[in-house]
Amino acid sequence: MLRKALPVLVIAFAFGAAEADTLLIDGVEIAEASRSERPQSGVTMASVEQRFGSPTRVAAAVGDPPITRWEYPGFTVYFEHDRVIHAVPNR
């Protein structure tokens, strides 16, 4: 029974992996297209607020070094101390 099911499982796994790769590539393309609409790494909190306005939500700093998260309608910004380390589009 297992010998008969194994080729089907291999084919199903191969198709599932191809779909996952496609979704990942689509996500990267969307993120790259909107990159200029988000703060760049190294920018200060003051500069982000000056350019994009006040965030809709601020999550308190956690960890060491402190990481803070600011949420905007189209993206989320992560800061280490007062500098942008990453800005990602919201889904």
**Residue 59 — pLDDT band, cuts 50, 70, 90?**
very high
Structure token digits, residue 56:
């809709």
Look at residue 11 in the predicted model and tell me its pLDDT.
52
- CA–CA separation, 80 and 66 (whole Å): 6
Contact between 24 and 16 under an 8 Å Cβ cutoff? The reply is: no
What is the tally of structural domains in the chain? 1
Does residue 88 contact residue 72 with C-beta atoms inside 8 Å? no
Report which residue type is found at 64: D
Distance between CA atoms of residues 70 and 59, nearest Å = 6
Amino acid at 74: G
pTM exceeds cut of 0.85:
no
pLDDT tens readout for residues 12-51: 555 555 555 555 555 555 555 455 689 999 999 999 999 9
| Chain segment 67-91, per-residue pLDDT in tens | 999 999 999 999 999 999 999 998 8
- Which residue range(s) make up the domain with 84? 2-89
